[in-house]
Structure 1
Amino acid sequence: MSLPKPNWGNPVHLAAFGFGSGAPKRAPGTWGTLAAIIPYLFLRELPLEAYLAVIVLAFVVGIYLCGQTSRDLGVHDHGGIVWDEFVGLWITLILVPPGWGWLLLGFVLFRLFDIVKPQPIRWADKRVSGGFGIMIDDVLAGIYAWLVLQLIIHWVG
């Protein structure tokens, strides 16, 4: 069964699908997470307070974007909806030192937690619905990945 396609002319669908990065049939979450690196390269230049404010705003906006797109397509958490991956990766990369190695490690850790979904991520993924439900499991995966990444940075640094 083929999933419904977004209306690319609808800016809500376009943003929810990560500006097209969630469109590939294979591994849309991974492609969406890769695309999230591009805005991150600009966001990381912000002062910490502004960076955190962007994450909070992106989360709140994401609840609407993901929820509306999900309703429009008639599929809860359509695989192509990747705005949640954007926010999850940005959480993972809070206070990460400069360098592609740290960025790559953050990417891998986030994808690992997003795919494996240890508790309570798995619980939230199955039990929380709507736009908030789509967003919260990736926020939790981002927090888990951030904690592990910060521990590694502390041990290595």
Structure 2
Amino acid sequence: MKRILATFLYVGYLRPASGTWGSLAALPFVWALHVLGSIAHPFGGPVLLGLATLAAFVAGLWATPAVVAESGREDPSEVVIDEVVGMWLAMLPVSFGAAMMNIEIGALYPGWIAAFFLFRAFDVWKPGPIGWADRRGDAMGVMLDDVLAGIVAGVLTVALAALSHLWLMA
């Protein structure tokens, strides 16, 4: 069970670039969580996505140490639950935007694209605190660097959306 969770249903074994595969695999779940949450309540989409993100983070903290111990590496490439959590965090502003505007989340496809590429860039680059978290060498570090990369990507996705709206209004 821990391996299934840590590898996000074995997506982590796809090569090359397992982190990118993990990030891509997270996206259909964003759509599903947003739509399922929205059925119950107009703002349920982002709420359900946020709760799922928290649950995946906790599950990642539980599952990652077993895979790390088995592999003998601090951050095995097959562990991609951290990328899923980071990608879901990066997509939360898109989900909130769709809920606030009462539109289909797929209509905000520029936000999907921005969140994905920004998250991948920060996950690979690891500037500042993201790199610090990555260097912790424990399960929290494995998860936390992607959490921070997801937060930065989400904030920048909102900033890009604001800039694009300002440009369209000009």
Q: Is 1:118 aligned with 2:127?
A: yes
8 Å contact kept, 2:5–2:59? no
Aligned to 1:151: 159
Q: What does residue 147 of structure 2 align with?
A: 139
SS state of the match for residue 93, structure 1? helix
Q: 1:4 is matched with which residue?
A: none
Give the residue type in structure 2 aligned to 1:80: E
For the Cα contact (< 8 Å) 2:134–2:145, is it kept in 1? yes
2:67 corresponds to which of 49, 62, 69: 69
Count of aligned positions: 146
> Alpha carbon RMSD of aligned pairs, Å?
1.4
Asked if 2 retains the 8 angstrom alpha-carbon contact of 1:68 and 1:131, the reply is no
How far apart, CA to CA, are the structure 2 residues paired with 1:44 and 1:68?
31
Counterpart residue identity of residue 32, structure 2: F
Pairwise CA distance, 1:131: 1.6
Following TM superposition, the consecutive aligned residue runs of length 4 or more in structure 1 with deviations greater than 6 angstroms are none
Give 1:8's aligned residue.
none
Q: Deviations over 1:104-138 (max 9, x none)?
A: 22111100000011101111111x23221110000
> What stretches of structure 2 of length at least 5 have no aligned partner?
38-43, 99-104, 166-170
Q: Quick check: 1:121–1:140 contact (8 Å CA) kept in 2?
A: yes
Letter in 2 for 1:42: A
Please point out which of 51, 59, 62 is paired with 1:53. 51
Deviation string for 1:47-98 (max 9, x for gaps)? 1333222211111111111122111222211011100000000000012143
Pairwise CA distance, 1:156? 1.8
Q: Which amino acid aligns with 2:129?
A: P
Computing the radius of gyration over CA atoms, which structure comes out larger, 1 or 2?
2
TM-score (norm 1): 0.86
Matching of residue 90 in structure 1 with residue 88 in structure 2: yes
Q: Distance in 2 between matches of 1:80 and 1:100?
A: 28
Residue number among 89, 101, 107 corresponding to 2:116 in the alignment: 107
Q: Which sits farther off after the overlay, 141-150 or 54-63?
A: 54-63
State yes or no: 1:30 paired with 2:20.
Answer: yes
Matched letter for residue 22 of structure 1: G
Of all paired residues, the percent bearing the same amino acid is 32
Name the CA distance, whole Å, in 2 between partners of 1:37 and 1:50: 14
Q: Distance in 2 between matches of 1:95 and 1:123?
A: 25
Residue identity in the other structure for 1:85: E
Quick one: which amino acid aligns to residue 101 of structure 1? P
Contact 1:16 1:81 in 2 (8 A): yes
